[in-house]
Structure 1
Amino acid sequence: MSRLSWPKERRLLRRPQFTACFERGVKHHCRYFIVFALRRDTTEPGIRLGLVVSRKVGPAVVRNRVKRVVREFFRLHQHEIDLPLDLVIVPKRRLDPGQLDITLAEEEFAPLLFRVREAACKNSNERK
């Protein structure tokens, strides 16, 4: 399997996984998205991604496009976060799905990845 694939094990699929991120995760904001990040207590590195796209964003075709673009960004940048993190991405209402493409995702998530990584490293050092 290619190292740039995004297998099912790298996705959040169950409600308890999402709930744990919402309740115990650190909330990060950017212009069009809210990201909940929770460090896992496991040795296997890499992020697991969950997407919550409400019907308020648009019909199913639009919601699926938002999910595809966000997933593609994280697939391409998965090597930049080698920490065991669960991320839940929630788009804000002001997101215009028609303008969302990979370059907008880069602008939104690149600085956010740095903040998430810094916060996760800081939290892990505080636990020790």
Structure 2
Amino acid sequence: MPDNQFSRRSRLLKPAEFKQVFDHTELRGSTPHLLVLATHNELGHPRLGFVLAKKQIKHAVARNRVRRLVRESFRLHQHDLPAVDLVVLGRGSLVALDNQQIREMIDALWFRLKRPTHGKRAPGQRKSRPKSGR
């Protein structure tokens, strides 16, 4: 049976780890309430970090509720996710949703991130631009 803990090794902890995701975003999933950015890692397991700004979500209670719900969903889906570093960014409209709506939304985002990327460019590969005829 897989280990469903959310241990320290499953978290983004250092500013450099967050910067890596922001600077080299390879996968992205969004809704009007949440944005999930991801980049592949070499660790063999997914890791999760949060950016829930006071400016977007005013009350600590609401930020903590969102963290708790996303962590729980991640904990249950981490064995199905590829080896990526994920950063979840919350938007202000998120506090208007109830717990069930947030769970369904984040589960749908995990599903999008789990899909194979057939026909898409390899991780780290940039889009090629057509050469101009100048």
Q: 5+ unaligned residues in a row in structure 1: which ranges?
A: none
**More helix by proportion, 1 or 2?**
1
Within 5 Å, give how 1:43-58 maps onto structure 2: 44-56=43-55, 57-58=57-58
The alignment yields a C-alpha RMSD, in angstroms, of 2.4
Displaced runs of 4 or more, over 4 A = 119-127
Q: Percent identity?
A: 31
Q: 1:92 to 1:5 in 2, by over 3 A?
A: same
Within 5 Å, give how 1:1-128 maps onto structure 2: 3-25=3-25, 26-40=27-41, 42=42, 44-56=43-55, 57-81=57-81, 83-96=82-95, 99-101=97-99, 103-118=100-115, 122-124=120-122
Q: 1:48 to 1:21 in 2, by over 3 A?
A: same
Alignment length (residue pairs):
121
The structure that has the greater radius of gyration is 2
Residues in 1 aligned to 2:10 and 2:117: alpha-carbon distance in whole angstroms: 18
Q: 5+ unaligned residues in a row in structure 2: which ranges?
A: 126-134
Tell me how far 1:114 sits from its aligned partner: 2.7
TM-score normalized by structure 2?
0.77
Residues in 1 aligned to 2:20 and 2:117: alpha-carbon distance in whole angstroms: 15
Residues in 2 aligned to 1:67 and 1:126: alpha-carbon distance in whole angstroms: 29
Q: 1:111 to 1:52 in 2, by over 3 A?
A: same
State the one-letter code of the partner of 1:65.
R
TM-score normalized by structure 1?
0.80
